[in-house]
Amino acid sequence: MFGNKKRLLTHEQYPRYLVFCLEVFNNIIQYQYEGNPHFIYQILRRKKVFTDLQELVESGLSAEDLPGGDDEGKFRPTAEWVK
């Protein structure tokens, strides 16, 4: 959910939540691999999500990636925030 490019920049905290989720995934894989076969299986089934996320990280985010619209009350990240 947080790795979706369109959703990632819609709220100020989503990038932070994504980092926390990935840290949890990493710790489960690293320290509790044998005790979580269903979790590992689901990660493998959703390989595309992680591949897309990796491509997003490698390509970087730019001001063009910012969501459009000037709705009041909605988070609108600046180019400086994205950097």
Most distant CA atoms of the chain, gap in Å = 48
For 11, other C-beta atoms within 10 Å of its C-beta total 14
The pLDDT tens digits for 17-57 are 888 998 999 999 999 989 999 999 999 999 998 888 888 77
Model confidence at 71, pLDDT cuts 50, 70, 90, reads low
Model confidence at 61, pLDDT cuts 50, 70, 90, reads low
pLDDT of residue 35: 92
Model confidence, pTM: 0.65
Q: Specify the DSSP element, H or E, that contains 47.
A: helix 47-59
- Which amino acid type is present at position 63? A
Q: Are 65 and 9 in contact (CB under 8 A)?
A: yes
Q: How far apart are CA 73 and CA 38, in angstroms?
A: 40
